[in-house]
Amino acid sequence: MNPEQPDSRSGEQNPSSETMSEELINFAAEVFDTARRGDAAMLDALLHKGLPPNMRNDKGDTLVMLASYHGHADAVRVLLKHKADPNLRNDNGQTPIAGAAFKGYKPVIEALLEHGADVEGASPDGRTALMIAAMFNRVEMVEFLIEHGANPDARDANGFTARDAAAKMGAPDTVARLAQATEAKSRPPGV
């Protein structure tokens, strides 16, 4: 049957593949915007209808990455409940936990860690969420990540630790906190 000819069963025209592709692209854009807005209820409804939880945009950002980067912990939880992978990297090698650390969204990081996100999840240049939080002087985030197993002495591809990165960026509070963490780590137990 010709796609431009009326369908004798319904009396309507079948959409061309070009029209369907355009509609699909528009739908996908709406879905990604839903994650950016953090509309957890809508994401839940779409996922129940079969939306793939690890859907990616043209930059490789997953729905979890977009919801994480925009600070929507409830949307992140919904996605993870539907088996979205908390560790999928975008095309730049960035993880959702690193995006949340960059923006300072502790509730998002809590949700990611509760669902198996790798606290060390380094980008291709070796930067961890701890390094990113330290660079932006996010002391509470640094403490939280260390409490959840982040290694304050991990090094990026250039050999810098979180403390080095914080010092380079002029983040004195996190430099001091990371110095304490390194000192505590090197102390023998019971001292």
Domain 23-118 belongs to what topology?
A: 1.25.40
At residue 183, the pLDDT reads 83
Task: Give the residue extent of every domain in the chain.
Answer: 23-118, 122-190
Give the confidence band of 6 by pLDDT, cuts at 50, 70, 90: very low
Q: Give dist(CA 146, CA 87) in Å, integer.
A: 18
At residue 21, the pLDDT reads 87
Which superfamily does 122-190 belong to?
Ankyrin repeat-containing domain (1.25.40.20)
Give per-residue pLDDT as tens, 27-45: 999 999 999 999 999 999 9
Q: Give dist(CA 34, CA 149) in Å, integer.
A: 32
Does 122-190 match 23-118 at the fold level? yes
Give per-residue pLDDT as tens, 91-116: 999 999 999 999 999 999 999 999 99
Nearest to 38 by CA among 78, 3, 80, 88: 78
Q: Give dist(CA 50, CA 41) in Å, integer.
A: 15
At residue 9, the pLDDT reads 43
At residue 121, the pLDDT reads 87
Q: What is the CA radius of gyration of the chain?
A: 22
Question: Would you give the distance in Å from CA 12 to the centre of its chain?
Answer: 43
At residue 131, the pLDDT reads 96
The tally of CA atoms less than 13 A away on the side-chain side of residue 132 is 23
Give per-residue pLDDT as tens, 109-146: 999 999 999 999 888 999 999 999 999 999 999 999 99
Predicted TM-score (pTM) of the model is: 0.84
- What are the angstrom distances between the C-alpha of 134 and each of 32, 127, 137, 138? 29, 11, 5, 6
Give per-residue pLDDT as tens, 146-168: 999 999 999 999 999 999 999 99
pLDDT exceeds cutoff 80 at 8: no
Q: Give dist(CA 66, CA 57) in Å, integer.
A: 10
